[in-house]
A and B are shown apart, each in its own frame.
Chain A
């Protein structure tokens, strides 16, 4: 069976030339960049050239790029590093309810350690209102962290507008751009952000490598101590093959970026248009226009997300869902609930994240098989075409959700 990958939001397939570059580095460029001999100097040169390539993708200076182990570490370093270094000024952080757990759980951790965190709400599209940021700011605020593109529903936040507000207030602004970088144009100067997280595996680079952009002049402290790597901000011998692979992924991302964005967006739009047209009782989650190029997220009423995923997998299609069964917790996705979706609707969510290698044929195949799957599951569902006159003995108490109904 042909396998179709519509889960690029989770991770992407490493580009072949990236893999070759990494392999080559592992075999022939094994020196420690801190060593002064020729092996070390070769590795150092590669790391610094890589820094230039990552900087180029973001329109940053090479000195503003710090390599990390990925998105999670970049988020942690940004948030903990800024709060540690600036706590004399205050203990207040502003973020949103729809952030990735790498940001949310870091903020919750800081809350337990004496910081105050404001979690801004979002509208029904999952969008933060920049005016809410302005109102939440006070003279103790040291950091605002709002993501660029939401990993679940794809909504793009008004980063530029928020950055204008934080800059005016003299407060640092970090954005988790893990889903955006490499998949759409991201220009740190144009956006006006102070810190920005990115991760290699979301755009055809290796896993376990990422970077944090830190605008020159920003006051930040290390959270990991050891040697003096990454200009004393991130101790640990550099992941040289990963760094070289990340840089190669950045180079590839820069080639024909507008064309690739247009192509992926067109596939996404066809998917959204057709689903909304051909299937009843379905809604698009996330913003109708301002969304990540590859992200489509639907809720199919009366059916549950994991059943959809299993059925799609049987047809060779890989996707994901925000249902409780797939989120690994008892509650469906915090993002969908924050947007005001009921638990029922959130349980029936299906995320399809398209990438560079997806074709129109693949989208058509999906569009072909999904109506039948939804129809079959609905035929099985007691919620669909429910006969309200039935006399049924009900026990709504289910232990696992504390008996709420």
Chain B
């Protein structure tokens, strides 16, 4: 059902946890749906994502996409990060089962919420 890559990220998720002095925190989904993804960002003065962590409640795809998106954005600029789509995350994982494509594939949305949170709190540039 899941690709090897998905199972790898599911069993050894990267960047799990919280950032206590995060510059931006975003969350999507709700417990009723069965998926919640929360992304914490640490952003440098130059607008580069220096650190990123996630916490996710959800199925295998939800956890794997969260882990994947954190790996994809570390070291990227906010602008580059905003260009990452849910679809790109799924592709980076070698694809997701069709049923999971729109249901548990929200990690990029969570990232974008975190970036918007950062912008709201700090303005466009820090």
On whether the two chains bind one another, the answer is: yes
Task: List residues of A whose CB falls within 8 A of some B CB.
Answer: 302-307, 310, 314, 323-325, 328, 330, 332, 342-344, 347, 379-383, 387, 390-396, 398-401, 404-405
Can you show 20 pairs from A to B with CB atoms below 8 A apart?
A: A303-B57, A304-B57, A304-B58, A310-B10, A324-B33, A325-B34, A343-B33, A344-B32, A347-B31, A380-B16, A380-B56, A380-B57, A381-B36, A382-B37, A390-B25, A392-B26, A396-B28, A398-B29, A400-B33, A404-B32
A393-B99 contact, Cβ under 8 Å, with A324-B33, A380-B55: no
Of the listed stretches B44-52, B70-78, B113-121, chain A binds B113-121
B42 located at the interface, meaning its Cβ lies under 8 Å from any Cβ of chain A in the complex: no
Which label, helix, strand, loop or mixed, suits the secondary structure of the B interface? mixed
Q: Choose among A304, A342, A379, A393 the residue that contacts B62 (Cβ–Cβ < 8 A).
A: A304
Whether the Cβ atoms of A382 and B27 lie closer than 8 Å is yes
- Closest-CB distance, A288 to chain B (whole angstroms): 26
Which residue of chain B has its CB nearest to the CB of A323?
B34
Whether the Cβ atoms of A398 and B25 lie closer than 8 Å is no
Whether the Cβ atoms of A307 and B63 lie closer than 8 Å is yes
Whether the Cβ atoms of B13 and A393 lie closer than 8 Å is no
- Across-interface contacts of B62 in A (CB, < 8 A): 304
A396-B16 contact, Cβ under 8 Å, with A328-B99, A381-B56: no
How many angstroms between the C-alpha atoms of A306 and B34 in the bound complex?
10
Q: Choose among B55, B57, B60, B116 the residue that contacts A310 (Cβ–Cβ < 8 A).
A: B60
How many angstroms between the C-alpha atoms of A332 and B32 in the bound complex?
9
Whether the Cβ atoms of A330 and B103 lie closer than 8 Å is yes
Task: List residues of B whose CB falls within 8 A of some A CB.
Answer: 2, 7, 10-11, 13, 16, 18, 24-38, 55-63, 99-100, 102-104, 106, 109, 113-114, 116-117, 120-121
A-B interface pairs (CB < 8 A), number: 115
Whether the Cβ atoms of B29 and A396 lie closer than 8 Å is yes
- Across-interface contacts of B100 in A (CB, < 8 A): 325
How many angstroms between the C-alpha atoms of A383 and B34 in the bound complex?
11
Which residue of chain A has its CB nearest to the CB of B100?
A325
Q: Choose among A344, A382, A405 the residue that contacts B56 (Cβ–Cβ < 8 A).
A: A382
How many angstroms between the C-alpha atoms of A399 and B33 in the bound complex?
10
Whether the Cβ atoms of A401 and B24 lie closer than 8 Å is no
Which residue of chain B has its CB nearest to the CB of A394?
B27
How many angstroms between the C-alpha atoms of A355 and B58 in the bound complex?
29
Q: Choose among A303, A306, A310, A379 the residue that contacts B16 (Cβ–Cβ < 8 A).
A: A379
Whether the Cβ atoms of A307 and B27 lie closer than 8 Å is no
Whether the Cβ atoms of B30 and A396 lie closer than 8 Å is yes
Q: Choose among A310, A343, A390, A393 the residue that contacts B31 (Cβ–Cβ < 8 A).
A: A343
- Across-interface contacts of B11 in A (CB, < 8 A): 314
Q: Choose among B2, B26, B30 the residue that contacts A393 (Cβ–Cβ < 8 A).
A: B26
Which residue of chain B has its CB nearest to the CB of A405?
B30
Which residue of chain A has its CB nearest to the CB of B60?
A310
Whether the Cβ atoms of B103 and A400 lie closer than 8 Å is yes
Whether the Cβ atoms of A344 and B113 lie closer than 8 Å is no
- Across-interface contacts of B37 in A (CB, < 8 A): 382
A323-B59 contact, Cβ under 8 Å, with A310-B10, A328-B99, A404-B32: yes
Whether the Cβ atoms of B35 and A398 lie closer than 8 Å is yes
- Across-interface contacts of A392 in B (CB, < 8 A): 25-27, 38, 117
- Closest-CB distance, A313 to chain B (whole angstroms): 10
What 4 A-B pairs are tightest by C-beta distance, nearest first? A393-B117, A306-B59, A325-B59, A382-B55
- Closest-CB distance, B37 to chain A (whole angstroms): 8
